[in-house]
Amino acid sequence: MKQNGAWSPYLAGGLAGLLGVLSVLLAGQFFGASTSFVRTAGMIEQLLGPERVAEMDYFVKVVPGIDWQWMFVFGIFLGSLVAALASGTFRLQTVPDMWQRRFGHTPVKRAVVAFAGGVVAMFGARLADG
């Protein structure tokens, strides 16, 4: 296997596909992530004003709370953390290498662009129901 212990994308991708099929068979759940961001936003807004959240159409459709998919996304965080620590590839980094080569060490600029990108990407993902 090439470059510092990385698994072939064909092997890992194939296993991920198998995992997806098993999930449908055993839990009846298809992989997804973006709905969990809606539930998280709803849970935060509930802290500020539960009455308002209860009246919002989208939070009636996507009820704020922890479900299978929310735990799935949390699991991705844990699985990646364990794999990174076990293989010595965990690296605290505020600016990705490719960004650094192009824009230099600019963590604040990177944070602003990442945040803005996140806003736009999630709005688009929800709109397309992806």
Partner 1 sequence: MSSLLYGLITGFLFGFLLQKARVIRYDKQLGALRLLDMTIVKFMLTSVMVGMVGVYLLQDLGLAELSIKSMVAGPVIIGGLLFGLGWGLLGYCPGTSAGALGEGRVDAFWGILGMVTGAALFAEAYPWLLRTVYTWGDLGKLTVPQVLGVNHWLVIPVFIIGVVFLLRWLEKRGL
Instruction: Identify which of 92, 38, 87 has the alpha carbon closest to the alpha carbon of residue 66.
Output: 38
Please state, in angstroms and rounded to a whole number, the distance separating the CA atoms of residues 113 and 118: 8
Sign of the alpha-carbon torsion through 42, 48, 51, 57? negative
State the nearest-atom distance from the C-beta of 5 to partner 1, in Å: 8
In angstroms, give the least distance from the CB of 65 to partner 1: 11
| Residue-wise burial string across 25-34, b where 16 or more C-beta atoms lie within 10 A, e elsewhere | eeeeeeeeeb
Supply angle C-alpha 69, 118, 33, rounded to 5: 10
Q: Tell me the C-alpha distance between 70 and 32, whole Å.
A: 9
